[in-house]
Amino acid sequence: MRRLNETITISPQIQTGDLAGLKAQGVDGVVCARPDGEAPNQPSAEELRAAAEEAGLGFLHVPVTPGHIPSREDADAWSEFVRGKTVHAFCAQGPRAVLLASLAGAADGRTLSAIKAEAAQLGIDLTPIESVLLDRGATTSDSD
């Protein structure tokens, strides 16, 4: 599990048995950015939702297909879900969860440099999608 920022952690695929431990670590909600059926060992979103609810966690499924940019609606769903929560997000390896968080940050008007710096600390270069982040609302300076 790697920390994206003060309220969001990111990881590769988790299992239903991991959810109680996340709750014990202070997580309020879980975001699955992985479509169902990508891998044989992957629990379905509904299995994860049921286990999350049983553990007292909120759950959001925003499936992101590899190589595709999530929609504005997907980023908005992320923003609404994570507001005021400590959240753990995952996909197969983590980059799609970071992408969702980054697009939501752009829509919330965060600076492009701050968004890129968060992703870079996890080894993810958002340079190829700078124009998308700007189009989605990222600013180029704190005064924008």
Of the candidates 41, 35, 46, 50, the one whose C-alpha atom is nearest the C-alpha of residue 15 is: 41
pLDDT in tens, 19-75: 999 999 999 999 999 999 999 989 999 999 999 999 999 999 999 999 999 999 999
Name all domains of the chain by residue range, CATH numbers in brackets: 2-108 (3.90.190.10)
pLDDT at residue number 22: 97
In degrees and rounded to multiples of 5, residue 107 shows phi and psi of -60, -30
pLDDT in tens, 105-133: 999 999 999 999 999 999 999 999 999 99
pLDDT in tens, 66-106: 999 999 999 999 999 999 999 999 999 999 999 999 999 99
Of the candidates 81, 6, 25, the one whose C-alpha atom is nearest the C-alpha of residue 14 is: 25
Global pTM reads: 0.93
CA 72 to chain centre: 14
